[in-house]
Each structure stands twice: as C-alpha cells, then as structure tokens.
Structure 1
C-alpha cells in the first residue's frame, strides 16, 4: 500500500496551470495583492519558487545558494514563461509525491527546515500566489478544502505579526468566514482585495477632433 503523504500539491498546481491560460500579455503590468509586484513580477517569482521547492523535495543543492534568493523582477521574467512555467509547476508537484521528500530536512531560499514544514510552505506559496494571480487578472479561484485545512493550522501557529520576507501580519477577519478567506487573512492578505479602478477621464478631455471655434470679433 502506498504511503499516505502529508499534502497533495496537485490541486494547487492544477489551479495555477489553468490560471496561466487566462493571463493576457496586457495583464503583465497589472498590480497584484503583493505590494509593489506586477503580474510579471509574480510570474517570475513562481518560476523561481517552483524550481527551488522541487529541488528541496529532491534534497538537492539549494539553487539560491547560502543566502536568500534574488528579489523577483518583471525584467527577469523569461520570454518563454508560457511554456516553461507549467512544466516547472508540474515538476514541483511530482517531486513532492515521493514519500522521501517529506522526511528529514529540506533547504530552499537559503533556509533549512523540517521537510514536512518545507512541503507545507510550498503548498502555501502555490495557493496564495494562485489567488494573487486570479485576483490580478479577474479570474475565479477555488482552493482544495483539504489543503486549506492544513494551511490554516500551519499559518495560525505562526506569529500574528507575520514573518518578514515571507508572511505579512494576520489580517483581522470574521471567524465565521469560509476557509479560503481565513487562510488568506492568516497569510497577511486582505481577502477583499481588488485591483484599483482606473479613474474615469471626462470625455471632453479624451478627444478633440476640431480646434475650438475662433471667437467672433
């Protein structure tokens, strides 16, 4: 009988792969719930984290070296992200299907921790950034209830003030909210975040096909 794994990363990976199909080139400069990050910056981060967490599952060398990884950047986003990122996500999910991935310790982003915690962090990154991408591009989002239950327990055990560089402070929320908003709030996100609306420009200032008529003498 196959060993039961602590978490299945397939559901958040499938969700993200579906969301990528809905990203238009015009979306790349759009803001996301991650302060200061555009969609392109978020996609660059997803590529980096997919590689790093897959390598962590394999107990390989930390791709980022001994220090923290470089900051995500829209300028560094691969021009081939549409074909490459789905493959990296699939490789990530596959790597964490191995029971050995969850044993001992794992290292990613310059941090070493118990492998079980590292796998949970990977799942959290996939779910949270999946939601970020969905909100930024106007797409629907649904998370696997079993994954959310694990994430809520994991995030609730963290410091309410957040973890710099990883999680923001807990956002106050009604305790009777559904699992997804609760998980988002524990991860430091505002579940009600929406992209800022472009201010309407008065139509008189948009088009001036004819110069103003000359005043009569």
Structure 2
C-alpha cells in the first residue's frame, strides 16, 4: 500500500473537506432522513462521523475516544471542529508505520499510513451517503476518486463484509464504462442510484 504521508494526508483532508461541505447543507428537518447505511438516519450517520474523527485523532496521540456524541444545534460547526481535529492529528504523524489502535481494525495496532488511507476512503464514501440521503448531486474531484479507486479495488471482498459491524457491504456487480466514482461505490457495496424508500 502507498505510504507517502504527504500524499495520504492530502487525500484524506480533501475527502474530509468534501464531506464538510455537504454537512454544511444539513437542516434540522434532514436529521431523520434515511441513509444508504441500512438502519441509520442522517443523525445516526453524523454521530458516527464525528465520533470517528475524534477516535482517529485520539489514536494518533495514543489515546481512545470513540464515544458517540450528542449533536449540537450548530451541526455544521460541530462537524468542522471534529474535521479540523483529525486533519491536524494526522499532520502530526511523522512515521508512516506509527502504530494506531483503531477498534474497527481489531485488537492489533494498525500502521498510521493504513489508518489514514482507510479514513480517506471512509469519508469519501460517507460524503456520498450524506449527499444521497439529502437528494443532492455528488461530484468529487476526479483525481481524488482516481487516487482512491485502486486502493478500494484491492480491499478484500469476502465473508468478513457480511459480519456485523463491517464498514462495507459485499461489492455489487460493476457496470462496464461506469464513472470511476460509481465503480468505487459499487466496490464497497453502495448502489450509486440509491434512493430513500
């Protein structure tokens, strides 16, 4: 896996910034909307996203903070503060192999370069989750998607994706000639044409 921290931090910061721009548009009436994450509303997804930002940031400092937060009335500011925290935390990492304890990845420490890459992928996909839930178009920068797509396609696609708590569902069949962002979403079990039922 690619281990250049400067490149990885840039990809992650861009994915996080994209998600923040979409979160900026959430209104209180949107919080109960369903999302592509089965069983989760927009509010559930936002609690998860903020908690993951705090958790990854704490892990870079050797700590642990994965508690689901209460959402503030000013959700956009709350999310941007959490986003700034994790981007700054990743910027402080000097060693790509620095061990980080990320519960979603198991009990063994994870190299920082893998954790930052996973965070970037997760937030690009979750940016789409929020956009889809809000009925908004999703147009990430092509080079961001192109950089993350090979990483996504290299991820194991096996029975672990059917286990409770798996971050991604089994992949969906690809459509020949589909845009790269559609390929990325399908590889992670998302239907690019998902609509709330």
Q: Same fold (TM over 0.5)?
A: yes
Answer whether contact 1:12 1:144 (CA < 8 A) is retained: no
Which position in structure 2 is the counterpart of 1:117? 114
Q: Using the alignment, how far apart are the partners of 2:138 and 2:70 within structure 1?
A: 24
**TM-score, reference length from structure 1:** 0.76
1:136 to 133, 137, 143: 133
Aligned-pair CA distance for 1:87 = 0.7
Aligned-pair CA distance for 1:110 = 5.3
1:10 maps onto 2:13 in alignment: yes
The ranges of structure 1 where at least 4 consecutive aligned residues each deviate by more than 4 angstroms after the TM superposition are: none
Q: Where do 5+ consecutive residues of structure 1 fail to align?
A: 65-69, 197-217
Which position in structure 1 is the counterpart of 2:84? 90
1:145 maps onto 2:142 in alignment: yes
Q: Using the alignment, how far apart are the partners of 2:127 and 2:95 within structure 1?
A: 23
Q: Using the alignment, how far apart are the partners of 2:32 and 2:22 within structure 1?
A: 16
Q: Where do 5+ consecutive residues of structure 2 fail to align?
A: none
Which position in structure 1 is the counterpart of 2:55? 52
Which position in structure 2 is the counterpart of 1:185? 186
Answer whether contact 1:104 1:115 (CA < 8 A) is retained: yes
**TM-score, reference length from structure 2:** 0.82
Return the structure number with greater helix share: 2
Aligned in 2, Cα 1:53/1:190: closer, same or farther, shift over 3 Å? same
Aligned-pair CA distance for 1:99 = 4.8
* Aligned-CA RMSD value: 2.2
Worse-superposed segment, 76-85 or 172-181: 76-85
Answer whether contact 1:31 1:136 (CA < 8 A) is retained: yes
Q: Using the alignment, how far apart are the partners of 1:167 and 1:129 within structure 2?
A: 11
Which structure has the larger Rg? 1
Answer whether contact 1:27 1:137 (CA < 8 A) is retained: yes
Count of equivalent residues: 184
